[in-house]
């Protein structure tokens, strides 16, 4: 994996383990890429210890620093955001219509964004942070955000914010929604799709980045004929506020109004991130695949039978960039 890929994989596994502590027997699904895109816009305007904590939790402090930004006005010190911008552009370019993602930043209207911040975020991330009236027109703000998310995800994700998602005391709210719709390259035969028992055993939490890197190393893989039994993949992961998860990982200052230094975002101080709302959806269907296998696999000698009949972890990897797009655990299919 590249340096940014390694950083995002470490972040992905940290978040997964933290979520799993309180969700031991539930399905888990989220997008580390979606979270990176949402948090990057805050990181750009964070300063001092607030920025250092964010970089450490995102594992961006381990990233090789370069000055390859085409706009030095927007990246005076490092090229971290240029790397992230290039990554997002590459994924958008190669994923065609399979992935729809929307990230938004909304601040209380009494806290206007700095003009330079707005200019740079639009250049780097094609995102326009907006001011809304949380204090007096909460429902209007919710409706506005939901409409924007639905439009950006081509209708795949609707009503992201529930009626109680926002409060009048909110200052800065981050939202991210990402959907994936795909088909198997080799289709499962519908006439062989049947109900089967699924054993509810625990899934180990001992997964690490080094183990994951070793698993997907081409030198450890070989072509094998497999008869695969796998539950249908339709998942909906909704996280109404990830601030506590990120705080547990060490990102605490940006959520504390007395300590947060977001002076690159707004003037005046005292601004904190109030909520981080994230939703990821997945649907992989059997129909319309490029190839449909017949019973030929069963006729191959020494084929493996791979029966997924107990809880499992899975990752969706972007092959060109080696970035983990989605991470999930299926406990109850």
- CB-neighbour burial class of residue 203 (10 A; exposed 0-12, middle 13-18, buried 19+): middle
Six token digits for residue 94: 């190669």
* 69 — pLDDT class (breaks 50, 70, 90): very low
Rounded Cα–Cα distance for residues 318 and 236 (Å)? 20
In the numeric block, which tokens belong to residue 93? Answer: 């370019």
Residues 99-139 have pLDDT tens digits of: 889 999 999 999 999 999 999 999 999 999 999 999 999 99
Residues 229 and 309 sit within 8 Å (Cβ to Cβ): yes
Report if residue 320 sits inside a domain: yes
For the cut 70, the answer to whether the pLDDT of residue 288 exceeds it is no
Task: For residue 35, give every residue at least 6 positions away whose Cβ sits within 8 Å of its Cβ, in sequence order, or none.
Answer: 11, 15, 176, 242, 276, 278
Distance CA 146, CA 160 (A): 6
Residue pair 242/35 in contact (Cβ under 8 Å)? The answer is yes
Q: Residue 100's domain is classified under what CATH number?
A: 3.30.497.10
CB neighbourhood size of 167 (10 A): 12
Percentage of the chain exceeding pLDDT 70: 83
- Does 206 fall in a domain? no
Half-sphere exposure of 42 (CA within 13 A, CB side): 33
Higher pLDDT, 298 or 105: 105
Q: How many percent of the chain have pLDDT more than 90?
A: 49
Q: Answer whether residue 201 is part of any domain.
A: no
State how far the Cα of 37 lies from the Cα of 45, in Å rounded to an integer. Answer: 14
Nearest to 235 by CA among 32, 25, 33, 29: 29
Contact in structure between 249 and 39 (CB atoms under 8 Å): no
Kindly report the average pLDDT of the chain as a whole number: 84
Domain contains 301: no
Structure tokens at 100: 């729809």
Q: How confident is the model at residue 198 (pLDDT cuts 50, 70, 90)?
A: low
Whose CA is closest to 318, among 87, 15, 126, 125? 87
DSSP structure class, residue 218? G
Q: How far is CA 72 from CA 263, 300, 305, in A?
A: 19, 59, 55
What is the model's pLDDT at position 181?
A: 82
Position 243 in a domain: yes
Q: What does the alpha-carbon distance between residue 102 and residue 241 come to, in Å, rounded to a whole number?
A: 17
Domain containing 56: what range? 3-182+233-287+310-330
Q: With beta carbons less than 8 A apart as the criterion, state whether 207 and 314 touch.
A: no
Mean pLDDT value of segment 131-153:
94
Cα separation, 280 vs 258, in Å, equals 32
Query: Whose CA is closest to 106, among 205, 187, 38, 172?
Result: 172
pLDDT of residue 67: 47
How many structural domains is the chain composed of? Answer: 1
Question: Which range, of 166-180, 186-200, 269-283, averages the lowest pLDDT?
Answer: 186-200
Query: Distance (Å, rounded) from C-alpha 241 to C-alpha 124?
Result: 25
Instruction: Report the 10 Å Cβ neighbour count for 155.
Output: 10
Return d(Cα 247, Cα 254) in angstroms, integer. Answer: 9
Residue with tokens 């219509």: 97
Highest mean pLDDT: which of 206-220, 264-278, 298-312?
A: 264-278
Within a domain: 79: yes
Contact 186, 293 (CB under 8 A): yes
Q: How many helices (H) and strands (E) does the chain have?
A: 9, 12
In a domain, 196, yes or no: no
184-199 burial string, b = 16+ CB within 10 Å, else e?
A: beebbeeeeeeeeeee
Tokens 């950083």 correspond to: 7
Does the structure show a pLDDT above 90 at 286?
A: no
């Amino acid at each position: 994996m590249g340096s940014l890929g390694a950083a995002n994989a470490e972040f992905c596994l940290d978040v997964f383990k933290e979520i799993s502590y309180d969700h031991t027997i539930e399905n888990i699904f989220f997008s580390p890429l979606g979270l990176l895109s949402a948090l990057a816009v805050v990181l750009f305007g964070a300063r001092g210890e607030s920025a250092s904590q964010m970089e450490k939790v995102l594992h961006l402090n381990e990233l090789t620093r370069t000055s390859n930004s085409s706009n030095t006005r927007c990246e005076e010190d490092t090229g971290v955001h240029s790397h992230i911008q290039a990554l997002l552009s590459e994924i958008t370019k190669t994923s065609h219509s399979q992935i729809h993602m929307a990230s938004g930043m909304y601040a209380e209207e009494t806290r206007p964004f700095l003009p330079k911040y707005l200019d740079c975020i639009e250049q780097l991330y094609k995102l326009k942070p907006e001011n809304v009236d949380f204090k007096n027109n909460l429902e209007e703000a919710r409706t506005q955000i939901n409409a924007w998310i639905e439009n950006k995800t081509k209708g795949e994700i609707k009503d992201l914010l529930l009626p109680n998602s926002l409060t009048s005391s909110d200052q800065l709210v981050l939202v991210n929604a990402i959907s994936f719709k795909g088909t198997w390259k080799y289709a499962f035969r519908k006439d062989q799709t049947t109900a089967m028992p699924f054993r509810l055993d625990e899934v180990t939490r001992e997964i690490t980045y080094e183990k994951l890197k070793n698993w997907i190393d081409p030198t450890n893989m070989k072509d094998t004929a497999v008869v695969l039994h796998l539950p249908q993949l339709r998942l909906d992961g909704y996280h109404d506020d990830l601030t506590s998860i990120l705080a547990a990982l060490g990102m605490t200052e940006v959520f504390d109004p007395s300590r947060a230094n977001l002076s690159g975002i707004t003037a005046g101080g005292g601004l904190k991130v109030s909520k981080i709302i994230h939703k990821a959806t997945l649907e992989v269907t059997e129909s319309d695949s490029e190839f449909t296998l017949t019973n030929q696999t069963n006729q191959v000698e020494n084929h493996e039978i791979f029966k997924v009949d107990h809880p499992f972890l899975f990752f969706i990897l972007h092959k060109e960039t080696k970035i983990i797009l989605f991470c999930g655990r299926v406990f109850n299919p």
